[in-house]
Amino acid sequence: MAAEQQRLSPTERANLVAYLDGELNDAESRAIATKLTQSPTARREIEILEKTWEMLDLLPRPKASEQLANRTLTEMQEIALHGGRMESTFKLLGQRARRIGLALTASLCAFFVGYAIMQWVWPNPTARLARDLTLAEHLDEYRDVGTFEFLDALSETPEFASDRD
């Protein structure tokens, strides 16, 4: 590429504002100045940037409201009186930690209350089986009997009549 068509690199383009303000070190400043003297394309880029800054200077500058100045001064006085933001930051962190602790405690209490209610309301099939263990042990025999009418008829027979005496 000819020296005339040399464009600024992305790094040099990023440093153009610092170059115009005189904030670059000597080596960077010389590199951009050399490129500007050798390349009309690079000179056009910096001329466009300069014109942009000139146009920005023509725009009306917004003025800060009185409230902003008052709030700023009030905040600065509070910082001076209360030792800065560190104290308030620790205070906020302490409040957040307490809130998190309370939320965690409330969640755990709600869990245990819900668990206790479910244990009380929802029947435990294992406890019922243990309570009726004798019934469960003889369940096959009860199923063979069938109905109560059969048991009544069976009690009338002479084989079982001796058991009643």
pLDDT tens digits, residue range 20-56?
888 888 888 888 888 888 888 888 888 888 888 888 8
Mean per-residue pLDDT over the chain, rounded: 81
Task: Determine what percent of the chain is predicted with pLDDT higher than 90.
Answer: 12
**What is the DSSP code string of 106-141?**
HHHHHHHHHHHHHHHHS--HHHHHHHTHHHHHTHHH
With a cut of 60, say whether residue 110 has pLDDT above it: yes
- What is the pLDDT at residue 69? 82
Predicted pLDDT of residue 150: 79
Return the domain boundaries, the chain: 3-58, 88-122, 125-156
Q: Report CA-CA distances (Å) from 86 to 44, 90, 150.
A: 50, 6, 89
- The predicted structure's pLDDT at residue 82: 66
* pLDDT attached to residue 106: 95
| pLDDT for residue 84 | 57
**Tens-digit pLDDT profile for residues 67-80:** 888 888 888 887 77
How many C-beta atoms lie closer than 10 Å to residue 51's C-beta? 10
Average pLDDT over residues 81-99: 77
Residue-by-residue DSSP string for 26-44:
HHHHHHHHHHHHH-HHHHH
Backbone angles phi, psi at 24, to 5 degrees: -85, 155
- Write down the pLDDT at residue 100: 95
Give the pLDDT score at 68: 85
Measured between alpha carbons, how far is 29 from 144 in angstroms, rounded to an integer? 107
22: which residues sit within 8 A by CB, 6+ positions away?
29
CA torsion sign for 42, 48, 51, 55 is negative
Mean pLDDT of 143-160: 80
Q: Any idea of the CA torsion for 50, 55, 56, 59, to the nearest 10 degrees?
A: 160
